[in-house]
Amino acid sequence: MARPMQDPNIRIDEILDAAEPLFFTKGYKKTTITDITSKMGVAKGMIYYYFRSKEEILEAIINRQTQVLLIHIKEIVSSQEKNPVQKFECIVASMFRTIQYRDGVLLNIGIVE
């Protein structure tokens, strides 16, 4: 009996959710596709259906965090309760929170040694 198809977006999120902490703890360079698929409990080949490379996975993680940041910035900009200086301060603070997200994962992924 064939397995039911899973929503591709759900599987992509699962891959990113597995890769992100590995990039943080092991570093981007030391994390392998096998590490990611082992953490997920899936066959190695499955990941290549969604991503061509580890670099594409990193890019997707960065894009996901950027989208979250943009949502926060739009909320700040549209706020009627803050003056322009307060909005600017909130935007800068939001950018730093995104960079420091999950104990600094975006700063500590070990891309540069």
Q: What is the CATH number of the domain that holds 97?
A: 1.10.357.10
Average pLDDT score, the chain:
85
Number of H helices, E strands in the chain: 6, 0
The CA distance from 46 to 80, in Å, is: 47
- Return the higher-pLDDT residue of 90 and 2: 90
Say what the pLDDT of residue 6 is: 72
Write the DSSP symbol of residue 71: H
Query: Cβ(59)–Cβ(28) under 8 Å?
Result: no
Range of the domain at 54: 8-104
Q: What is the model's pTM?
A: 0.74
**CA 66 to chain CA centroid, nearest Å:** 8
In a domain, 87, yes or no: yes
